[in-house]
Structure formats: C-alpha cells, structure tokens
C-alpha cells in the first residue's frame, strides 16, 4: 500500500491560518499559493479545512477550491461547515474530490449516508477531532472549539456503517505543537476500524511519519511541519522509500 | 478537433475541464443534447458515480442516445473512471442495469482480501511495451496514478488492456483501448503531471484516428 502524504491547510477565508490546538489562529498568507508550492514539491493530496465555517454558519472556501482545482492536479479534500447535501454538492462541483465532515455528522449522522449514496463512498471523509481526557479520547466539534461526551472509539465503531470512504483522525492535544504524534490514539483507532485512515496532529519529523506508517495508517496529514519547513516533501519520500515504505514518486 | 465533455450532473466535471484547459484543448460541455452537440469529434465521459445512477442520469438527459449514435459512426470516445466502466456490458454494482456494451466485458467488485475497498489512493501502474513510447512513459522508475473505485473492469479481450496496476496480488485493468474507445480506470486529471501526460496522449491518439 502506498502511504499518502497529504498537506493540511487551515483556512480563515481568505487567509491560510495556523494555531495550536486549533486556537490562536495566525495568518500566514494565501492558501492557494501554498497548495501550488506543495504540489510542485510532490505532495500527494491537498486537504483544506475552513476553520470558521461552522462558527459563522457558512462555508467560505468554494472559490478557493475552484482556484486550486484548476491549477493543482491531485486529489483535493475540502471541509468545514458542510452540513447538508446541498453544501456537499456545491463543494464537489467546485472541484473538491472529497468533502470532510465533523460537526454535522455528530449532530445528524444520517447526512453521511445521504451524501455517499448520491456521490459515492469515496467522496466522504469523516473528520474526528480527538481530545484526551483520562484514559479516553472524546470528540470535539466546530474546529476544536466545543467538547462533546462522545467517545472517539465509540463513534468510530459506528463509522463503518455510516457511509464513509475514509476516516481522518486529528489529535487536538498535539495539533500545532510540533511535538510528535499521539501514537497511542492512532494505534487504538487503527485496531478498531479497517476503514482507510489518515492521521494528523503534532507530526514534525520524517521519523514521526515512519512511525505512523508502521501502525498501518493509509496517510499522514502534515500541517505545521510543512508551513514551518520542518519537513521537506522530497526528503521525506526518499527517507520513507529507504525504510521500505511505498510512496508515490 | 472538437471535444465534447458530457455533463450528467454527478461527475467531477470541474477537474476534468480544468485539465483540458491546462493542456490547451478546446472543448465544450454537453449538458443538453442539441444542434450545438452535433459536430463533436471526440466524446469524453468523466466519472465519479455509481453504475446505475450514472446511467440513469445519462438517459434522463438523452445523452445515452447521443453517445450511441456517436459510437455507431465509429467516432472516438474517452471514458474516465465511471465513464470507462459504463462502456462495458454491466456491473455487479447495479444488477439489472445495462451499460453501453461497446466494449465486451463486465465490472466486478474488488475483493477486500486484495485491497481496502474502495480502492482509493496512488497505485503503481504498468504499461504495455507497445504503448510506452506512445504515452511518453519510457521512464524506468515506478509510476503512480490516483485510483478511486470499488469495482474493477474485467475485459473479454485481454489484449485490449494496455495498462494495469502492478502492486498487488490481483492485477486491475488501469486502461484499455478497444477500437474507437479508450477507457481509463484511474483519474488522470488527478494524477499529477504523469496523469496529465497520459490524458494528453490518450486524446491525441484517439484524435489521430479522426483525420
């Protein structure tokens, strides 16, 4: 299986933003320019997250997705504030290959099935924002702003039947900290589902990516690591290849 | 050469059209079949859809007849993903639904033992020797394209298979050429510069038959 290296880009339209634990968002420039650069550097996919969409009750990245889809010829995932079939359709028609849903899925799980029945399983990504409390991880919503009492592992166990093509688990505890991934979380999730799984949060080195791949994840999303130049995509792929991990060349 | 891209409401039209623009091909989008559609030289059927609903959408817009007439005149057709599958006879995905049956073969479900289903991600492809130079694929290092599907194409004429996936127990048809038809299982418009090269070559190859 080829490990997918994905660029995670958080957006507060029209800017690329980055925070820690998805808080304290700072502006870093224009998202489509970063997407273009990562594409040229050999990234496998782009994943846009509109981190204020649920907050402001509207998605503002249709134009961004259109622009990127017209100049970057790799799969694009877009998420943030998608809460209806119409919103999903609009995002897919703007050029997204997949839509990512978190908050709306927890409020009305049927939405996922509705979307995948119309557009196919492969177009639906369930995003899970996981925060640790004691021995469990709980789901957060609204781009890391609200807590729920839904346990991540319980939520995921239902995921298989909910009409999803893939699961994206983000560690809120590690997100933006560049302090290494929450391997325990990813391991637990991997053991509890055989859905395609991509992970993110805290990954800062080539070794971190290797560690995730050894757990059996299908892809790793890099956000701060790319933005802050901690990881170089070409070097990462050469390193992984050397360690016998298949990557797209 | 006039390319007509079929818009049946469900596919990833935008990505395909973006790729055509990038490659400097003139195209028009065919939503309703009218006087304007008549001079189409090459039809492109893009694809992100399931077999049954996709065929139904084509029928609802009268595009199925348009495609059939086009094929009767032996004019070229390029099918991408769903577009490639619907040109076959049938698919296990939608029992009872007939495909166009221009290409002998059927679609069957991918087995979980070979892949995660859906088979979604970058897979290594192998190209038949005779096509390597036609598609500018002479590089010897591994080549990867982006796949996203749950059903595979099983063709009756195996010589029609010009590309297959390389990296698993089961080889999957990645691309076929059958008479005036070219089908690609992966998404060339989403497979980076390699994909764009393949798309470019496929269109030029189909187009050369027109003159």
pLDDT, mean of residues A36-62: 91
Enumerate the residues of chain A whose CB falls inside 8 A of the CB of residue B196. Answer: 73
pLDDT value, residue A1? 80
What pTM, to 2 d.p., does this model score?
0.93
For residue B168, the model assigns a pLDDT of 62
Instruction: Please tell me whether residue B56 adopts helix, strand or coil conformation.
Output: helix
Lowest mean pLDDT among A158-162, B40-44, B81-85, B192-196: A158-162
Mean pLDDT of B56-60: 92
Sequence-ordered list of residues with C-beta below 8 angstroms from that of B211, at least 6 positions apart, any chain: none
Contact B142 A165 (CB under 8 A): no
> Could you tell me how many CB contacts below 8 A there are between chain A and chain B?
94
Token output for B21? 């623009």
- CB-based contacts of B36-40 (< 8 A; 24+ apart in sequence): B37/B4, B37/B66, B39/B2, B40/B2, B40/B3, B40/B4, B40/B70, B40/B75
Count the helices and strands in chain B (H runs, E runs): 6, 12
Is A50 catalytic? The answer is: no
- Whether residue A124 contacts residue A101, with contact meaning beta carbons closer than 8 Å, is answered with yes
Answer whether A73 sits within 8 Å of B192, measured CB to CB. Answer: yes
Contact of B194 with B144, CB cutoff 8 Å: yes
**How many Cβ atoms from other residues are within 10 Å of residue A167's Cβ?**
23
Compute the average pLDDT of residues A100-112. Answer: 93
Length in residues, chain B: 211
Mean pLDDT, to the nearest integer, of A179-206?
Answer: 95
Chain A hits for B146, Cβ within 8 Å = 74-75
Asked if A149 is an active-site residue, the reply is no
Q: Which two tokens stand for residue B63?
A: 């595009």
- Nearest to A87, CA basis, from A122, A123, A121: A123
Q: Does the structure show a pLDDT above 90 at A69? A: yes
Among residues of chain A, what percentage have pLDDT more than 90?
85
What is the average per-residue pLDDT within B119-132?
87
Tell me how far apart the alpha carbons of residues B167 and A155 are, in angstroms, rounded to a whole number. 33
On average, the pLDDT of chain A sits at 94
The answer to whether the CB atoms of A119 and B48 lie below 8 A apart is: yes
Q: Which residues pair with B125 in a beta bridge?
A: B143, B165
- Is residue B113 over pLDDT 90? no
Q: Count CB atoms within 10 A of the CB of residue A234.
A: 10
Sheet holding B90-91, edge to edge: B90-91, B105-109, B151-155
Q: How many Å apart are CA B73 and CA B83, to the nearest integer?
A: 19
Mean pLDDT, residues A142-164 taken together: 90
Contact predicate B47/B54, CB 8 Å: yes
Q: How confident is the model at residue A233 (pLDDT cuts 50, 70, 90)?
A: very high
Q: Are A73 and B196 in contact (CB < 8 Å)?
A: yes
**Eight-class DSSP state of B74:** T
Predicted pLDDT at B211? 58
Nearest CB among B19, B122, B196 relative to A2 is that of: B122
CB atoms within 10 A of CB A128: 24
pLDDT over 90 at B202, yes or no: yes
How many CA atoms, within 13 angstroms, populate the side-chain half-sphere of residue A246? Answer: 16
| Catalytic option among B81, B93, B164, B177 | B81
Asked if A123's CB is within 8 angstroms of B49's CB, the reply is: no
Q: How far apart are CA B111 and CA B142, in angstroms?
A: 24
Closest partner residue to B141 among A69, A194, A249, by Cβ? A249
E strand or H helix at B208: helix B192-208
Q: What local confidence, expressed as pLDDT, does residue B53 receive? A: 84
Burial tier of A186 (Cβ tally within 10 Å: 0-12, 13-18, 19+) = buried
Q: How far, in Å, are A243, A245, B107 from residue A239 at the CA level? A: 6, 9, 38
The ipTM estimated for the assembled molecules is 0.88
Confidence label for A188 from pLDDT (cuts 50, 70 and 90): very high
Nearest CA-CA distance, residue B74 and chain A, Å: 31
pLDDT digit string (tens) for B20-46? 999 999 999 999 888 888 889 999 999
Is residue B49's pLDDT more than 80? no
The 8 Å CB, 24+ separation contacts for B137-145 are B137/B197, B137/B198, B141/A249, B142/A249, B142/B166, B143/A249, B143/B194, B144/A2, B144/A248, B144/A249, B144/B191, B144/B194, B145/B174, B145/B186, B145/B187, B145/B188, B145/B191, B145/B194, B145/B195, B145/B198
Average pLDDT, rounded, for chain B:
90
In the prediction, which pLDDT does A136 show? 95
**Would you state the pLDDT for residue A216?**
95
Residue B11 is predicted with a pLDDT of 66
Average pLDDT over residues B108-117: 76
């Amino acid at each position: 299986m080829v490990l997918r290296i994905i660029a995670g880009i958080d957006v507060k339209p029209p800017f690329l933003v980055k925070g820690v634990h998805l808080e304290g968002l700072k502006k870093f420039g224009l998202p489509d320019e970063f997407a273009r650069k990562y594409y040229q550097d050999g990234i496998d996919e782009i994943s846009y997250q509109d981190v204020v969409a649920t907050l402001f009750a509207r998605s503002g990245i249709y134009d961004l997705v259109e622009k990127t889809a017209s100049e970057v010829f790799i799969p694009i995932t877009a998420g943030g504030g998608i809460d209806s079939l119409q919103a999903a359709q609009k995002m897919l028609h703007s050029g997204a290959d997949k839509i990512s849903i978190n908050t709306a899925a927890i409020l009305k799980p049927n939405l996922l099935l509705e979307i995948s029945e119309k557009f196919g399983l492969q177009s639906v990504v369930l995003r899970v924002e996981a925060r640790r409390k004691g021995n469990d991880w709980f789901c957060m919503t609204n781009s890391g702003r609200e807590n729920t009492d839904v346990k991540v592992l319980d939520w995921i166990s239902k995921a298989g039947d909910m009409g999803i093509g893939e699961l994206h688990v983000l560690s809120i505890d590690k997100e933006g900290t560049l302090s290494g991934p929450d391997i325990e979380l990813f391991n637990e999730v991997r053991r509890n589902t055989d859905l395609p799984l991509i992970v993110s949060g805290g990954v800062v080195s080539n070794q971190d990516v290797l560690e995730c791949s050894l757990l059996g994840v299908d892809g790793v999303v890099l956000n701060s690591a790319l933005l802050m130049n901690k990881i170089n995509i070409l070097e990462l792929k050469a390193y992984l290849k050397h360690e016998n991990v298949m990557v797209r060349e | 050469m006039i390319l007509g891209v079929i818009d049946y409401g469900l596919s990833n039209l935008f990505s395909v059209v973006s790729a055509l623009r990038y490659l400097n091909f003139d195209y028009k989008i065919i939503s309703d079949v009218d006087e304007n559609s008549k001079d189409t030289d090459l039809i492109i059927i893009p694809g992100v859809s399931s077999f049954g609903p996709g065929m139904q959408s084509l029928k609802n817009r009268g595009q199925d007849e348009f495609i059939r007439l086009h094929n009767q005149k032996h004019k070229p057709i390029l099918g991408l993903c769903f577009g490639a599958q619907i040109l076959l006879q049938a698919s296990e995905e939608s029992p009872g639904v007939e495909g166009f049956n221009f290409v002998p073969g059927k679609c069957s479900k991918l087995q979980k033992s070979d892949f995660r289903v859906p088979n979604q991600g970058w897979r290594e492809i192998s190209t038949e020797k005779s096509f390597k130079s036609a598609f500018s694929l002479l590089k010897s290092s591994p080549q990867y394209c982006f796949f996203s599907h749950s059903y595979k194409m099983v063709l009756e004429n195996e010589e029609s298979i010009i590309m297959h996936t390389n990296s698993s127990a089961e080889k999957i048809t990645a691309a076929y050429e059958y008479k005036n038809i070219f089908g690609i299982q992966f998404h060339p418009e989403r497979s980076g510069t390699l994909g764009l090269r393949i798309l470019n070559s496929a269109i030029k190859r189909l187009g050369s038959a027109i003159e």
